[in-house]
Amino acid sequence: MSNQARSIIVTGGAGFIGSHLVRRLLADGHRVLNIDKLTYAGNLRSLADVSGHPSYSFLRADIADAPAIHGAFSSFRPDLIFHLAAESHVDRSITGPMAFIGTNVTGTAVLLQAALETWQRHPRPEGFRFIHVSTDEVFGALGDEGVFTENSPYQPRSPYSASKAASDHLVRAWGETYGLPFIVTNSSNNYGPCQHPEKLIPLAVTRALGGEPIPIYGNGTQVRDWLHVLDHCDALVRVAAHGRNHDTYLIGGGNERRNLDLVRELCGILDRLAPKPAGGSYADQITFVADRPGHDFRYALDAAKVSAHTGWEPEITRSEGFFSTVEWYLANLK
Ligand SMILES: NC(=O)c1ccc[n+]([C@@H]2O[C@H](COP(=O)([O-])OP(=O)(O)OC[C@H]3O[C@@H](n4cnc5c(N)ncnc54)[C@H](O)[C@@H]3O)[C@@H](O)[C@H]2O)c1
């Protein structure tokens, strides 16, 4: 982003990706208002090191609460918004889809209205943007071959991905209808410190260390493209600075792994860092469980456009990223 300090609203800043993004934006010298409802997935301890930063403020609010959101926008007057707040767990969307509609769809619409009002009311610099952080899951599932691109058709298959797809469409509609400056980003699976323990990597590490079964859906052949959360945040910052208004960018790590291979790799790292007192490998705890309904087989994406437009490349290699992530959970999951 430019060296000029910006006034930035981050929604979902107490979540996994949002907490890393807030820290990065403060380090870059910006003023940040974090708006988060603090659901089960939000954790302000992830931001304990910056909570007293003079340029940081926090508002506990539901993004679907229009009066609270309009009030926050009119007093803070952001010139940049990173929208990350969401219900984000596919399994929960299967058992309780309505919360996903309330936050991901209605909440996004409320934010768009508040952003539009701010943008229309106060003359804003060129760089005003609503950056919408979305997922590659909106494109559905791939077979063994091929990759998603920015031109892939939307084919969401879970209540989570359908609600994120709806939110992407709303953002583009506010851009086309009202001229709101926006960028949509769709990223692959993130990993790194501070992820909620329901997600695959922290779940596997927690279960391994607890001596419990490590569940793998189906036969574990599903493929995901793993992106380190710090690389994702770097891409978001670059997209805000250099991305084209009213455009879309796919962000991926170029790091495809079958779920089973990923968990075996994590177990191998744990075997080295925290050998089981009784011997044997943590991989012995891997247990296959009934597959998730409608489980997407493979996601992979072509991140050439974001690289070409912003100069971004993922910097954290798979071995370095997985190793440091396991180390972090070992130190922090107790
Ligand atoms: N984690 C991934 O692998 C991944 C990949 C692609 C895209 N995304 C997207 O990135 C964004 C962030 O993902 P994450 O993994 O950090 O999610 P997360 O579940 O860790 O965090 C979500 C945050 O949003 C907050 N929140 C939820 N509902 C809210 C509401 N109604 N009002 C205000 N705050 C609310 C939660 O309290 C939490 O702090 C999401 O939009 C997600 O769809 C995530």
Give the tokens for residue 239.
Answer: 């997209």
3-state secondary structure of 29: coil
pLDDT in tens, 109-129: 999 999 999 999 876 667 899
pLDDT at 296: 87
pLDDT at 175: 98
pLDDT in tens, 60-103: 999 999 999 999 999 999 999 999 999 999 999 999 999 999 99
Does ligand 1 have an atom closer than 6 angstroms to the CB of 104?
no
Q: What is the CA(197)–ligand 1 centre distance, in A?
A: 14
pLDDT at 183: 98
pLDDT at 190: 97
Tell me which residues of the chain have a pLDDT lower than 50: none
Q: What is the CA(26)–ligand 1 centre distance, in A?
A: 19
For every residue of 170-201, DSSP letters joined together read HHHHHHHHH---EEEEEE-EEESTT--TTSHH
User: Structural domains in the chain?
Assistant: 7-191+226-254+297-309 (3.40.50.720)
pLDDT at 2: 55
**Which of ligand 1's atoms lies nearest the C-alpha of 13?**
39
- Which residues, 6 or more positions from 213, have their beta carbon under 8 angstroms from its beta carbon? 207, 285, 286, 287
